[in-house]
Amino acid sequence: SQQGEEDPQALSIQEGENATMNCSYKTSINNLQWYRQNSGRGLVHLILIRSNEREKHSGRLRVTLDTSKKSSSLLITASRAADTASYFCATDRATDSWGKLQFGAGTQVVVTP
Amino acid sequence: DVKVTQSSRYLVKRTGEKVFLECVQDMDHENMFWYRQDPGLGLRLIYFSYDVKMKEKGDIPEGYSVSREKKERFSLILESASTNQTSMYLCASTGTNYGYTFGSGTRLTVV
């Protein structure tokens, strides 16, 4: 079964708006990561947040982690058409071998000009 | 620019064929992974390797095997291709910074 589950499954916004997507997971983690995938290509690593961190920023990206609720959110501010992609969360579970990630099914984001 | 290279973007194979998917990374990473991606199911781990000649089963290893004879190369083998193995196959590697670097993927169709 999937460890990370993203919500919503799909999101449609206008350029300049913010996009927020959430990820819930089931078991304790070492870290949680977010990836972007453009139109059937490989995934690109965006950001990693460790279990002892609560918030991280990278450019227009802001990630939060709430280990008590086993959830994370990814916020993309001032979205652009180029942000159109699928976004996946992935968890490095504490019970798993190091570096072995479990991915969710993703959130498909469409940004219209 | 560091990269993970998958040998084919698209492949069409016949049922029963033995299929080899090749993945090469130039980052001197110890850890390499094979995932398949299907709509609505996300990425599912098939096999992974932490070192040369070492392999471990992921969540869905049935019908697959792997080979890692050199550090930079990790091959996925479909012993006898079946239509339910039609999928996008993604190779990834990682070093000490935890984030994966993915290849561009191989879209395999088994007819």
Greatest Cα-to-Cα distance within chain A, rounded to the nearest angstrom: 44
Query: Distance (Å, rounded) from C-alpha B23 to C-alpha B7?
Result: 6
Chain A, nearest residue to B56 by Cα? A97
Residue A47 pLDDT greater than 60, yes or no: yes
Flag residues of chain B having pLDDT under 70: 1-2, 96-97
Percent of chain A at pLDDT exceeding 70 = 96
Beta bridge partners of A63: A56, A74
The C-alpha angle with vertex B7 and arms to B2 and B10, in degrees rounded to 5, equals 120
Q: Average pLDDT of A5-25?
A: 94
- The bridge status of strand A19-24 relative to strand A5-7 is antiparallel
Specify the DSSP class assigned to residue A97: P
Nearest partner of B86 among B106, B105, B65, B109, judged by Cα: B109
Residues in chain A: 113
> Within its chain, how far is the Cα of B51 from the centroid?
15
Q: Return residues 47-86 of B near A (CB < 8 Å).
A: 48, 50, 56, 58
Question: What tens digit of pLDDT does each residue of A69-111 get?
Answer: 999 999 999 999 999 999 999 998 877 766 788 998 899 999 9
CB within 8 Å: A106 and B42 = yes
Rounded to the nearest integer, the mean pLDDT of chain B is 93
Query: Distance (Å, rounded) from C-alpha A27 to C-alpha A3?
Result: 8
